[in-house]
Structure 1
C-alpha cells in the first residue's frame, strides 16, 4: 500500500465525517449516539492546530483514516497531557494504517513537547489495545460502565504513553 500520512485540511472533512459516522453507528469506539453533521464537524475541526494536530492517511486521493491529539482536560496543569483518537475506514482496517497514524501522532506530540498521551479505549477493544501496546502504551486505569450504547453499558480503559526525549 502506498499510503501518504499528512496533516488534514478542510477539504478532508467530508471523508473524515463518513469514517466517523460509520464508527458512530457500528462501534462503541466513540460514545456519540447519532451521526454528526458536516457543520458540527467544521466547528470541531477548528480546535486543531500545530500543538494539537489532526493527521490523515491517504491513498490515491482517498482518505483511509485519521487521527488527532486533543487536550486531555481543560485545566492548566494538564497542558502537557494529550488524548489520542484514531479512526480507520472499515475496508482499511488491519493493513497498518493505524500504526502509521499513531507513529506520526507520537512524533507530533514529542515535537510539541507534550509529556504524556492518553488513549481511552471502550471495552478493552482488542485491536486498539494491541495497536497502542505496540507503541509502548500501558494500561493505567478502568472506569466501569462509563457509557451506555447499543443497549448495554461499556467500560472505558485508559492507556498511557509517557514520552521520552533524547
Structure 2
C-alpha cells in the first residue's frame, strides 16, 4: 500500500541515497559530486511549512520523495514554487512518481500557490511525460545551460497553473 507523509530528519539518509543515485548516473540534477550526509542535512533544514518534502512509502519503505522549493528569492515570486520528484531506482515504473506528483500538486493548492515550475533536462522524457500528464506546459527552453558528463545539456521549464489569474 502506498502512503504519503511529510519528511522528518530521520529520513535524510534515505533521501541522500536516492538523490546521490541521480547525481552519479543522470542529468536529473546538475550536482556533480555526491552529497554528504551533512550537505543533505543542511538542505533539509530549509524545508517544511510552505516548502514541504513529501515521502512516498510502499509497504513501509521509502520509495521516493517530492518537494517544493523557492523558485526565485525575490518576494514577488512567492506565489510560485519549483516542484521536484525523485524515486528510488527500485520503484521506478510502478506509478509511484505519478501518485507522488499528484499529492504534491494537491499540497501546493492547499498552500495557496498560483503556479509550479519544473526544471527538466532535455532527454529526460519520462519526467516530461509525467509532468505533461498533470497539465504542465513547456514555457521555456534554455540551450546549453548545464555541463555534466563532459557535454552541454539543455534545460526545459514546464509550468502548471494552479489557479486562474485574478488580474
Q: Same fold per TM (> 0.5)? A: yes
Residues 24 and 96 of structure 1: is their aligned pair in 2 closer, same or farther, counting only changes over 3 Å? same
SS in 2 for 1:91: helix
* TM-score of the superposed pair, with normalisation by structure 2: 0.95
Structure 1 outlier segments of 4+, above 6 Å: none
SS in 2 for 1:30: coil
Residue 102 (structure 1) aligns with: 101
Residue 13 (structure 1) aligns with: 12
1:52·1:69 contact (CA, 8 Å) conserved in 2?
yes
Q: Within 5 Å, which residues of 2 pair with 1:65-144?
A: 65-144=64-143
Matched, 1:64 2:72: no
What is the rounded CA distance, in whole Å, between the counterparts of 1:30 and 1:15 in structure 2?
17
2:4·2:54 contact (CA, 8 Å) conserved in 1?
yes
What is the rounded CA distance, in whole Å, between the counterparts of 1:125 and 1:57 in structure 2?
21
Structure 2: which 5+ runs fail to align? none
Residue 27 (structure 1) aligns with: 26
Tell me the matched-pair count. 164
Q: Deviations over 1:71-119 (max 9, x none)?
A: 1000011010000111111111110111111111111111111101000
What is the rounded CA distance, in whole Å, between the counterparts of 1:77 and 1:151 in structure 2?
37
Matched, 1:155 2:145: no
Structure 1: which 5+ runs fail to align? none
What is the rounded CA distance, in whole Å, between the counterparts of 2:160 and 2:59 in structure 1?
32
What is the rounded CA distance, in whole Å, between the counterparts of 2:16 and 2:103 in structure 1?
21
Q: CA RMSD in A?
A: 1.0
1:144·1:155 contact (CA, 8 Å) conserved in 2?
yes
What is the rounded CA distance, in whole Å, between the counterparts of 1:65 and 1:34 in structure 2?
21
Following superposition, the deviation at residue 124 of structure 1 comes to 4.4
Following superposition, the deviation at residue 60 of structure 1 comes to 2.5
* TM-score of the superposed pair, with normalisation by structure 1: 0.96
The range that moved more, 24-33 or 88-97, is 88-97
What is the rounded CA distance, in whole Å, between the counterparts of 1:37 and 1:98 in structure 2?
25
